[in-house]
Every structure is written in C-alpha cells, then in structure tokens.
Amino acid sequence: MGVEIERKFIADAAMLPEPEKSVRLEQGYLDHARIMARVRIAGDLAFLTLKGTEGGTTRAEFEYPIPLGDARELLRSFALQGRVTKTRRYQRHGGRIWEVDVFDGANEGLVLAEVELSSENEDVEIPPWVKREVSDDPRYFNAFLATHPYAEWKEDAEPESRERDGKQ
C-alpha cells in the first residue's frame, strides 16, 4: 500500500522564483464514500489515483498510469461536477523539490505549495515564499476546491482575507 505524507502551505505568487519545470494539470473526482478516486491528466499523461478520505498529513494513496483516452472518458462519463485546473511548478528549496500549484479557472488567485515527506515529524526548511500552513484545513484539498471553488468562498470564511484586512 502506498502512503502519502505531505504538508501544504499558501505561497506568495509574486515571490516565487522561476520554476525548474512546470506542467498544466486537469483533474476531476469520482464519487465514493470511503475513498476518493481522482483522474488526472498531466500534459500527455494520465493517472488514476485512489486516496483515503481521512484528513491530516498522512493518507493511503495508490496511483496508476492509465491511457489518456480512458482518463478523458472517465472524466466525461463518471466525474462529479467541478474540475480543478492548475499549473504545477517544481521548485527546489532546502534540498527538496516543492510542488507549487498555481490555480486558474474558478480557483484563480490560489497558490498552494506542497512538499512530500518520509515521516510526519521530518524537519522541513520552509521557503521564504510560503505564507502559512494549511495541511489540516480540508478546504484546501483539491477534491473540495473542485466543488467549492476558491472564487466562491465568502470573505468571512477565508482566513487569508482577514489577514489582508488586518482582522485576525
């Protein structure tokens, strides 16, 4: 069984250095009660990923390459409403590769940075372009963003808007 351990942070897009590499992603989510199934198209590649639905930094994860045509058909025929579109940038910092997702569409304006770890207690050097951690906030999970886009969040429910306005 695969396991994913990651921390997630809001990043400042204006402070990001040039990426080492980037790829535009589109993903949709398949409906199920105890496991989240994701179909992702990344450029000319496609993947089926199954993740446990429990929150936090550690979740079961299984990912498989699938034919691009199959991915498109799964998204067309079985995906729940909503999509997440973003460009994933790969940034080096502190001896690690960070994945920085710059969202567009209904989630435009949101930039999330993720770093994968070997254990939950592993030390991480936080880059200067990271604002705050949101690993335990389910609103920042892509499955949530697909059906509750960032652009639709109410200002009083979005902590960053309070920070901007000095209303913490």
Report phi then psi at 149, rounded to 5: -60, 145
Let me know the angle formed at the C-alpha of 101 by 96 and 104, rounded to the nearest 5 degrees: 170
Six token digits for residue 70: 């199959």
Give 81: exposed, middle or buried? Use CB within 10 Å, 0-12, 13-18, 19+. exposed
Q: Name which of 94, 92, 111 is nearest 102 in CA terms.
A: 111
**Which one of 29, 64, 90, 140 is the catalytic residue?**
29
Question: Encoding tokens for residue 101?
Answer: 């997702």
CB-based contact 28:64 (threshold 8 Å): no
| 29 included as an active-site residue | yes
Type of residue found at 8: K
For residue 7, the tally of other CB atoms under 10 A from its CB is 19
> Is the torsion defined by CA of 120, 95, 62, 42 positive or negative?
positive
| Enzyme catalytic residues | 29
